[in-house]
Amino acid sequence: MAGAPVHEPVNHGRRRFLTATTAVVGAVGAGFVAVPFIKSWNPSARARLAGAPVTADISALVEGQRLVLEWRGQPIWIVRRPPAVLEALLTLDEDLLADPDSSNPEQQPKYASNELRSIKPEVSVLVGLCTHLGCSPEMKAEIRPEPFDSEWKGGYFCPCHKSKFDMAGRVYAGVPAPTNLVVPPHYYVDENTIVIGVDRVNGQGAA
């Protein structure tokens, strides 16, 4: 049923994603913890496919949790990043990244063209599709060695073709994905309410 939370399945290379689901991730120190699932409001399926804005209440989204919504047939990831994640992002060697300054204007609105690619430092909003061939990457938020990177600082890993992104969605250099993960147009109605699909700067939905 639309809007019902479900667990994320293992991605076996097919281009698929889940809508209206939440997932918890591993620990970065004590930052990432298991928390209850969160339900969110969504418009009708027809409205979503037509590009209607999606409103999300993130008041119950705790540090280390990801909320997954659907907008325009795409998964939208909203993650509340703990201080340890933010510190890792700000100290990551930029030589590892293909576009550390988010210089490609097509990948994010101007207000997200910063180191953390977000309006609020602690809240990340991304389109959860790899920019290579559209697979849905896995969130690997733990700062620990991984089989694909012995010095992993947390981020997203696409098992389809091994592309890597940091926790701001910035793509690593030398992987198949050509650009950073997309930051969709969005704005905050208030401290705990986000609207996805509308840029408040011009008051219009994304083209």
> Does 105 score more than 70 pLDDT?
yes
Q: What is the mean pLDDT of residues 160-166?
A: 94
Q: Which is more confidently placed, 16 or 112?
A: 112
Closest CA to 13 of 127, 123, 130, 175: 130
Listed range (34-38, 40-44, 87-91) with the worst mean pLDDT: 34-38
Q: What is the mean pLDDT of residues 195-204?
A: 72
Residue 8: per-residue pLDDT: 44
> Does 71 score more than 80 pLDDT?
yes
Q: What is the mean pLDDT of residues 146-171?
A: 94
Residue 100: per-residue pLDDT: 94
Query: Domain residue spans in the chain?
Result: 21-205
> Does 183 score more than 90 pLDDT?
yes
What is the C-alpha separation between 52 and 73, in angstroms, rounded? 11
Residue 201: per-residue pLDDT: 60
134 — pLDDT class (breaks 50, 70, 90): confident
Q: What is the mean pLDDT of residues 83-88?
A: 93
The CATH architecture annotation of domain 21-205 reads 3-layer Sandwich (2.102)
Q: What is the mean pLDDT of residues 114-120?
A: 94
188 — pLDDT class (breaks 50, 70, 90): very high
Question: Which contacts (CB < 8 Å, 24+ apart) does range 134-138 have?
Answer: 134/15, 135/11, 135/13, 135/14, 135/15, 135/159, 135/160, 135/161, 136/11, 136/15, 136/16, 136/17, 136/75, 137/11, 137/163, 137/165, 137/181, 138/11
Closest CA to 130 of 168, 160, 97, 173: 160
Residue 52: per-residue pLDDT: 85
Q: Which is more confidently placed, 197 or 36?
A: 197
